[in-house]
Every structure is written in C-alpha cells, then in structure tokens.
Amino acid sequence: MLKIDGFSKSYGAGRYAVRDLTLHVAPGEIYGFLGHNGAGKSTTLRAVAGVLDFTEGEITVGGHSIRTQPVEAKRIMAFLPDNPDLYDFMTGIRYLNFIADVYGISSADRTARIARYADAFELTKDLGGAIGGYSHGMKQKLALISAFIRQPRLLILDEPFVGLDPAAAYTLKTMLRELCDEGGAVFFSTHVLEVAEKLCDKLAILRAGRLIEAGPTAEIVGRSNLEEVFLQLEREEAAQ
Ligand SMILES: Nc1ncnc2c1ncn2[C@@H]1O[C@H](COP(=O)(O)OP(=O)(O)OP(=O)(O)O)[C@@H](O)[C@H]1O
C-alpha cells in the first residue's frame, strides 16, 4: 500500500533530516512510527502525503508515485498533520461539507458518513458552532472526522492522539483497526508508547533521521516492554 524506498530529505546545507529510509506498509497493517523529538517523523509523513518535496528516493501509494502521479496517490490517502489548519470562521458542518465537495463525496454518502463519524467522536451537537470556538481536542476530532469521511485506503497521521480524551482515543483506536480489517492501512507517528505497543502490528523507530529498528511489534518488544526497548535502543545508538 505504501512503499518508501531510499528516502532522504535535506532542508539545505547538506544536513539531512532523514537519511536513506526504506519502509513498506502492507494492506491490513497499523504501522507505528516512533522517534525522539526532531528524529524526522513529521518530515517523512509530510513527504509521504505529498506536501513536502524530498531530496532522494521514491515514495509510492497504491503503486502511484507521490512525485509523478500525485493526484492518483492522494485520491486514496488522507493525511492528518500534527497541527491541522482548519478554517476558524467556518462552522464544523460547513467545513465537513467543504471537504466532501473537494473530494466529490455524494450528498447521500456525506450525510451518512458525517452522522456516523461525528456521533462516534461525540461532536454532533458542536458541528453548528464556529471552529474558532472549538477546544484543541474538538479541532482534532473534526480533523479526524474529515479524514474518515473520505474513507481512504491509506491513513497517514502525525501524532493523532494528542489532545484526545480517553473516550475519543478509544474510538480512534477502534476505527483504525476497522479500516485495516477492511483492507486499508495506517501509518502514524506517536510518542505514546503504550498506544503503539497495544495497537500497532508493526513499528519503525527513527533516530536522528536513520531507521534503527523496524518489524512486527511482538518481535521488537520481545519479553520486555516498548518503553524499555525504546530507551535502550536510543542509548545504544547515542553511544556509537
Ligand atoms: N522547515 C524546516 N527547515 C529546516 N529544518 C527543518 C524543517 N522542518 C524540520 N526541520 C528539521 O528536521 C529535523 C526533523 O524534524 P521533524 O519535525 O521531522 O522531527 P519529528 O521526529 O517529527 O519531531 P517531533 O517529535 O518533535 O515532532 C529536525 O532537526 C528539524 O529541526
């Protein structure tokens, strides 16, 4: 579903934010992307989503190159950045209809999907209010709903659990699993190691722009727990 091959990104002056990253996400997989602050997670996710150009490598979504076939690639993927840019002057429902218009979702489909996802995230009664008056968590829920109503085959999420209350976090975990059970795939970054350990089929750990570990969660965690494994890997890499 998602293939990142030999991906490198330099923001200039020969300093690489990410270097030679290869990582594949298959249909049905929830793939967690871990790393310290500044490791290069957002850089990678933004390049995958086609909102950031990159220096070397190739990224394909459903077989479509994000560089040469961006429209085809973006049609089957939804991206939620770490700080989604919503329109404060719009109401929530206006924003969701705007997204539905952009992606050509029929009137019947949008009504059913908005009702389903807004109910699931307990945002229905707030949809008539201006986004400018939403809390951080409400904005995050609205951004998630706008991604889910598109019913993407690949969901790319940057720190999706930040700001969500426990009920919304549970709903999100359930929906991510449902999307994968239906043949979709999810690639998301997080600092919440408990969520990563419980939810993800596979994990990749980035350190200073380089992949230091990738594979099935159970193999990476082994008999320990993810927090210990993560901190140990960080220490080993730092000592090299
Ligand atoms: N627009 C930019 N211009 C220059 N350098 C940048 C830019 N964006 C990111 N960087 C640098 O690239 C590196 C990777 O940053 P990135 O935001 O991808 O990390 P991250 O793993 O998402 O971090 P965090 O967990 O803090 O969100 C950092 O050294 C950062 O300073």
Centroid of ligand 1 to alpha carbon of 84 (angstroms): 16
Residue 33 has pLDDT above 90, yes or no: yes
What is the distance in A from the centroid of ligand 1 to the CA of 17? 7
| Smallest CA separation from ligand 1 atom 30, residue | 38
Q: Which atom of ligand 1 is nearest to the CA of 18?
A: 14
Average pLDDT for residues 62-70, to the nearest whole number? 95
Distance from the alpha carbon of residue 86 to the mean position of ligand 1, in angstroms: 22
Which own/partner pairs from 1-4 qualify as long-range (CB within 8 Å, at least 24 positions apart)? 1/25, 1/26, 1/27, 1/29, 1/61, 1/62, 1/153, 1/154, 1/184, 1/185, 2/48, 2/59, 2/60, 2/61, 2/154, 2/185, 2/187, 3/58, 3/59, 3/60, 4/44, 4/48, 4/57, 4/59
Atom 5 of ligand 1, nearest CA residue: 11
pLDDT tens for 110-138 read 999 999 999 999 999 999 999 999 999 99
Q: Which of 54, 46, 49, 47 has the alpha carbon at shortest distance from 10?
A: 54
State ipTM: 0.97
37 CA distance to ligand 1 middle (Å)? 8
Give pLDDT tens digits for 198-209: 999 999 999 999
Buried/exposed 8-27: b ≥16 CB within 10 Å, e otherwise:
bbbeeeeebbbbebebebee
Confidence (pLDDT) at 204: 95
Extents of the domains making up the chain = 2-76+152-239, 85-151
| 2-76+152-239 CATH choice from 3.30.1360.200, 3.40.50.300, 3.30.360.10, 3.40.980.10 | 3.40.50.300
13: pLDDT confidence band, cut at 50, 70 and 90? confident
